[in-house]
Structure formats: C-alpha cells, structure tokens
Amino acid sequence: NAGVTQTPKFQVLKTGQSMTLQCAQDMNHEYMSWYRQDPGMGLRLIHYSVGAGITDQGEVPNGYNVSRSTTEDFPLRLLSAAPSQTSVYFCASRESQGLGEETQYFGPGTRLLVL
C-alpha cells in the first residue's frame, strides 16, 4: 500500500491564483480530512469527509473547497489564493467516521507559498 499520497510537494502561487491540492489513499478508508500547519499553532482541521459524496467544515474552512467523488480521492481547492494561506497542508485518512480504534494516517504534506 502507498498509504496517503499528496501532490504537489511544494507550490508557489501568486495572490488570486487558484489551485488544487491532491490527496489519495489506497486503504479504502471512509474518513478523510485536510489540515493546515502553521508555526506555533499545531494542526488545524480545514474540511473533512466521512464518505464519498459527503463533506463538512472543520475549524478553519474559509477560502477552501473540497469534494469527495470517490473513496480514494479528496482534493482541496483554493479558489483565490491569499498570503494568509501560506502553510503546510496535510491530508489524513482513517477507517471509519465513528469513535473507535482506528488510527489516523497522514500524507507527507504540501508546502504552499502564496506571494
């Protein structure tokens, strides 16, 4: 299994540009999520999905869109990038949405710089 993969590893955008961060997992996990990591603030949840066709907002959703058309993929879209979105983005997945023994696995991260 490749686990959770993310592309690209690094991206530079200009203010106002749009882009999609890709995330895929091959573990047939129902639950997927996106976090951003900023210095001194840990990881904060942006959006999550409990299954194909279902998404919901996390702690910091503004400026980001998501969709979940398949179990495997969970892309994160920035419609109009802002410097405040400069961060490291992590995608994660786990087996189910419920509270249980499942462990959350993280992708390697995407470092985004918005100029």
Q: Which residues contact another protein by CB under 8 A?
A: 31, 33, 35, 40-45, 48, 50, 56, 58-59, 88, 90, 97, 99, 101, 103-106, 108-109
Q: Between 17 and 61, whose beta carbon lies closer to another protein?
A: 61
For 9-54, the DSSP string reads SEEEE-TT--EEEEEEESS--SEEEEEEE-TTS-EEEEEEEEETTE
Q: Which is nearer to another protein, 1 or 101 (CB)?
A: 101
| Minimum CB–partner distance for residue 16 and another protein (Å) | 27
- Min. distance of Cβ 108 from another protein in angstroms? 5
- 87-112 burial by CB neighbour count: b if 16+ within 10 A, else e? bebbbbbbbeeeeeeeeebebebbeb
User: Measured from the CB of residue 45, what is the shortest distance to another protein in angstroms?
Assistant: 4
